[in-house]
């Protein structure tokens, strides 16, 4: 399962980066672009498994889905697309290969408790 390995690598990254931080990880917030190839539902499902017996055990996961934005050269503007099936300007219908946003898969924010680390 693709999302489980992604979830595990996020947990590993955070475990490494937060090694010196006291406190418990409460919530991890991710940006997931609609073109990232990651299914948010599957990632949520995999999250608890990936966090089990790690520093992040019990941490919540919040996913913000980032819509696809393309740049239209005819309009000279960035346009947010309603879906991912057609990379065309939704205003003038010009096809465009220029993707400005929507491929993200990144950790946006981590919320920690103050105090004791996880046992
Ligand atoms: Zn356009």
- What separation in Å is there between the alpha carbon of 80 and the centre of ligand 1? 11
- Looking up tokens 């590993």 gives 12
Residue 22's pLDDT band, with cuts at 50, 70 and 90, is: confident
Burial of 5 (0-12, 13-18, 19+ CB in 10 A): exposed
- Say how many Å lie between the CA of residue 63 and the centre of ligand 1: 29
pTM as predicted:
0.85
Percent of the chain with pLDDT over 90: 86
Among candidate residues 95, 109, 103, the one with its CA nearest the CA of residue 37: 103
Q: What is the whole-number distance in angstroms between the Cα of residue 33 and the centre of ligand 1? A: 21
Q: What is the mean pLDDT of residues 6-10?
A: 96
Question: Does CATH place domain 2-16+25-110 in 3.30.2320.80?
Answer: yes
Mean pLDDT computed over 23-28? 94
Sequence spans of domains, the chain: 2-16+25-110
pLDDT at position 115, please? 65
Write down the mean pLDDT value for the chain. 93
Does the pLDDT at position 88 exceed 60? yes
pLDDT digits (tens, 9 = 90+) for 37-86: 999 999 999 999 999 999 999 999 999 999 999 999 999 999 999 988 89
Residue 90 Cα, ligand 1 centroid: separation in angstroms?
A: 7
| Greatest distance between any 2 Cα atoms in the chain | 57
Task: Give ion ligand 1 contacts, CB < 5 A.
Answer: 72, 74-75, 89, 91-92, 94
């Amino acid at each position: 399962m693709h999302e489980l390995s992604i979830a595990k690598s996020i947990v590993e990254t955070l475990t490494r980066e937060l090694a010196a931080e006291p406190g418990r990880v409460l919530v991890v917030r991710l940006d997931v672009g609609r073109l990232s190839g990651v299914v948010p539902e599957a990632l949520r499902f995999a999250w608890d498994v990936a966090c089990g017996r790690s520093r992040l055990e019990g941490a919540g996961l919040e996913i913000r889905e980032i819509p696809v934005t393309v740049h239209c050269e005819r309009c000279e503007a960035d346009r947010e697309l309603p879906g991912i099936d057609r990379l065309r300007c939704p205003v003038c219908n010009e096809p465009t290969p220029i993707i400005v946003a929507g491929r993200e898969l990144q950790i946006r924010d981590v919320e920690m408790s103050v105090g004791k680390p996880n046992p």
